Structure 1
């Protein structure tokens, strides 16, 4: 029987322990998926003594059932569609476009809030460790993978505390390495694998990004 994580901090520390081979390497960059993935990614970046930034992706939720992903959107115009959900619910293209337009506005808002005038992180020829707090349908992480691959990283590692075993198996073919602490046969929902799964705020994301930047600068 799998044991639940106390919170994202504990999950990040346990995940970092499985990524020790990437510690103190100048080519490593840790990217967290906002917002919930950033507290996990912070613990990974701190343990590895690596820079931390965000990979901005937005889930395209089904209208009326926002937790169900019909796809995802990433910076650079990347759009990944969950064909099974779209076909099952017979969602028209017009609806997908409307939701995508709204989520694109939120992506741009977050980019400004988290990054300000800072340039996008350099991905080319770097080892990228992409971190989230868990993988449900996989649409969001696939959009992130697609946008990062376009930037030609040396190695792309996906690292999460929890994901269904079948999802991990599928994603392993899309990245260089996948690291997952808990791989249940049935996931149900990411939140049930955490005792504390409170929503992460924009302020917390900004604070963690700043803290890791200061840790690296003072090392």
Structure 2
């Protein structure tokens, strides 16, 4: 159980801080992933940016991810999507367009404070606050690979074991702090899992290089 995303990010820093990472870039999946990613970037001395992907929502069950669409428009569908009788190509196409519209809206907000980072030739750490179906992470990893990253590391606080396994072909390495056998939702592993607003996301992108957070200060005191 993590207190919040910030603490989870710091625990990831502790796992990665002694590794030699060449020109590291942390790419966070907004919005919750930015609270993890900002701490990760600060703690590792890395650049921070976002990689945009949105889940494709099932009809009548918006919390269920049929799959995801990336910022480049590529669609990934979960294995069960084809078995749903009320999900056809027309529905997927409409949902894809809805989510691409939201991606465009967020891109405009985020790029106003942080230009797109260079991915090619770099060690890229892709992070989120957890992996449930893995759909958005898979979509994001395809973007990162296509952009020419030298090394791709997935770093997340918690994930469903079978979904973590599904990511392995797409990443050079995966760092996942917890892989509980009983996994229902990411929020069950956080005491504070408040929704992250656009305003908070912009603040994190703009200010991640500012002085240490409470978790970083606490860890520094403990180390001495």
Above 0.5 in TM-score?
yes
Give 2:216's aligned residue.
none
SS for the counterpart of 1:161 is: strand
How many residues matched?
211
Give 2:2's aligned residue.
5
Give me the whole-angstrom Cα distance separating, in 2, the residues matched to 1:207 and 1:118: 11
Give 1:134's aligned residue.
130
Instruction: Identify the range of structure 1 (7-16 vs 110-119) with the bigger mean alpha-carbon deviation.
Output: 110-119
1:64, distance to aligned residue in structure 2 (A): 1.6
Mapping of 1:186-201 within 5 angstroms? 186-201=182-197
Give 1:17's aligned residue.
14
Mapping of 1:102-181 within 5 angstroms? 102-116=98-112, 118-181=114-177
Are the equivalent residues in 1 in contact too, given 2:113–2:202 (CA < 8 A)? no
SS for the counterpart of 1:122 is: coil
1:49, distance to aligned residue in structure 2 (A): 1.0
Is 1:66 aligned to residue 59 of structure 2? no
1:89, distance to aligned residue in structure 2 (A): 4.3
Give 1:57's aligned residue.
53
Give 2:71's aligned residue.
75
Are the equivalent residues in 2 in contact too, given 1:52–1:213 (CA < 8 A)? no
Give me the whole-angstrom Cα distance separating, in 1, the residues matched to 2:114 and 2:195: 25
- Aligned-pair Cα RMSD in Å: 1.6
1:63, distance to aligned residue in structure 2 (A): 2.0
Are the equivalent residues in 1 in contact too, given 2:134–2:164 (CA < 8 A)? no
Q: Note the residue ranges of structure 2 that are not aligned, 5 or more in a row.
A: 212-224
1:86, distance to aligned residue in structure 2 (A): 3.2
Instruction: Identify the range of structure 1 (160-169 vs 91-100) with the bigger mean alpha-carbon deviation.
Output: 160-169
Is 1:97 aligned to residue 62 of structure 2? no
**CA deviation vs aligned residue, 1:62-111 (integer Å, no higher than 9, x gap):** 12211111111111122111131332445111001111111111000000
For residue 31 of structure 1, the aligned residue among 27, 32, 38 is 27
Are the equivalent residues in 2 in contact too, given 1:22–1:28 (CA < 8 A)? no
Q: Note the residue ranges of structure 1 that are not aligned, 5 or more in a row.
A: none
- Distance change >3 Å, CA 179–CA 136, structure 1 → 2: same
**CA deviation vs aligned residue, 1:105-140 (integer Å, no higher than 9, x gap):** 100000001112754211100100001000001111
Displaced runs of 4+ in structure 1, greater than 3 A? none
